[in-house]
Structure 1
């Protein structure tokens, strides 16, 4: 059965995939077996869809209906291939500007960031397949429809995306309060990808070690940090200021 972006039940999910729906999140009960489950797993592998194996309690929280051990969320958009997107931007002659979101979890923050990114000329947003906020109805609403206007890439690993961007001549700048340099002392006129971290943990340490530069916003109040969508907007508009 289906309810907006939520699809539950093995057969319903199989139908969604074969009809061409983009699966944003797929949750499978640990230890699920049976012929129909095998058919779903085979189809998922062919489509290279990431599976999140979870206990049945997780599925019960997602829907009160008979989920048969499988719940999925479909995406209202199709995701872009990172390599093709980067190549097209470089060939266009424009100075590349990308946004990497490291495990951002709140869909409203995600939507607000997408809206600002579209307004500031970001060429693409890169998110990881596992662990991040989904592209759902709330994302669409909060982005004011901008989610349909800006390319979004889903990658297996953020680090691999970073390596590819760096190999393509794009500097990686981490937005972090741990930096010793402010954004206003950082050259953002060259091809750049900004990394924003999650609401609770910020940018993961393993990712932070791979960036080319770190930059922070100066803070004068008692509160240690800004909301991630607000901080992202400040970073993006500083890039515009520098590039004007």
Structure 2
């Protein structure tokens, strides 16, 4: 499993909250205040090696991402399975709530969607193994470390995965500009998976054909579509809203 550097104060702090093995933490020489001091304290309690380095070293590790004076060296990201995600929902006694990403290519978008998913209590995110962004340093940074708290499964074929989820009782809703109904006019309760498509092409035809319902977000301006992570956030929180309303007494 390929090693990677997790950079930035929040991502490293979130990493330290998990049981993931951390090989070493690098901090900028002289930068021992604020949250860096907290990181060092936790790392020492866990007997993690801490090394002070110069800015050039951290710049190289961060590959253009803002490191904020700290980086952690870890083994590559460990992906989950579909069963892991469904089991998580079952253990929580909740209807499964899953996000399926169809060829999202920008790691910043992937990270932002994972961050929203974690905040909203999504049980898992599914991504394809090919022709899509993978969990890397940029995704860690963009998600503010949320990748360590969300189950992420990588699959060979999204269409086949949708069929598998349907057999498990999930309804599949795809975000599409030509959808039948607006998302707020659609019931999004029960076991559900939301499909978000590629930044430019949207959901592929084969995947679109597998969706039970296609929903759209109203567009009133001159630009015809939203950023993928913005679309995902709108739909994810509509599911949260509808489930919250369902739980209100008398509804």
**TM over 0.5, shorter chain:** yes
1:78 aligns with 78
Q: For 2:3 and 2:97, how far apart are their aligned partners in 1?
A: 36
1:200 aligns with 200
2:99 aligns with 99
The count of aligned residue pairs is 176
Distance 1:86 1:218, change over 3 A: same
Q: Once the 2 structures are TM-superposed, how far is the Cα of residue 75 of structure 1 from its aligned partner? A: 6.8
Gap runs ≥5 in structure 2: 6-20, 22-73, 245-251
2:178 aligns with 178
Distance 1:240 1:142, change over 3 A: same
Q: For 1:4 and 1:158, how far apart are their aligned partners in 2?
A: 26
Q: Once the 2 structures are TM-superposed, how far is the Cα of residue 85 of structure 1 from its aligned partner? A: 2.4
Q: For 1:103 and 1:208, how far apart are their aligned partners in 2?
A: 13
Q: Per the alignment, in what secondary structure is the counterpart of residue 206 of structure 1? A: helix
* 1:1-244 alignment runs, 5 A limit: 4=4, 76-244=76-244
Q: Once the 2 structures are TM-superposed, how far is the Cα of residue 3 of structure 1 from its aligned partner? A: 8.2
Q: Once the 2 structures are TM-superposed, how far is the Cα of residue 161 of structure 1 from its aligned partner? A: 1.0
Distance 1:3 1:122, change over 3 A: closer
State whether residues 101 and 195 of structure 2, in contact with CA within 8 Å, keep that contact through their aligned partners in structure 1: yes
State whether residues 3 and 75 of structure 2, in contact with CA within 8 Å, keep that contact through their aligned partners in structure 1: no
2:18 aligns with none
Q: Per the alignment, in what secondary structure is the counterpart of residue 195 of structure 2? A: strand
Q: For 2:105 and 2:181, how far apart are their aligned partners in 1?
A: 27
Distance 1:224 1:4, change over 3 A: same
TM-score by length of 1: 0.68
* CA offsets 1:143-176 (integer angstroms, 9 cap, x no match): 0000010000011100111011101111000011
Gap runs ≥5 in structure 1: 6-20, 22-73
Q: Per the alignment, in what secondary structure is the counterpart of residue 125 of structure 1? A: strand
Q: For 2:75 and 2:207, how far apart are their aligned partners in 1?
A: 27
* CA offsets 1:24-52 (integer angstroms, 9 cap, x no match): xxxxxxxxxxxxxxxxxxxxxxxxxxxxx
Q: For 1:108 and 1:196, how far apart are their aligned partners in 2?
A: 15
TM-score by length of 2: 0.67
Moved over 6 A (4+): none
Distance 1:88 1:118, change over 3 A: closer
State whether residues 175 and 215 of structure 2, in contact with CA within 8 Å, keep that contact through their aligned partners in structure 1: yes
Q: For 2:203 and 2:152, how far apart are their aligned partners in 1?
A: 19
How big is the alpha-carbon RMSD for the aligned residues of Structure 1 and Structure 2? 1.9
Bigger drift between 81-90 and 176-185 goes to 81-90
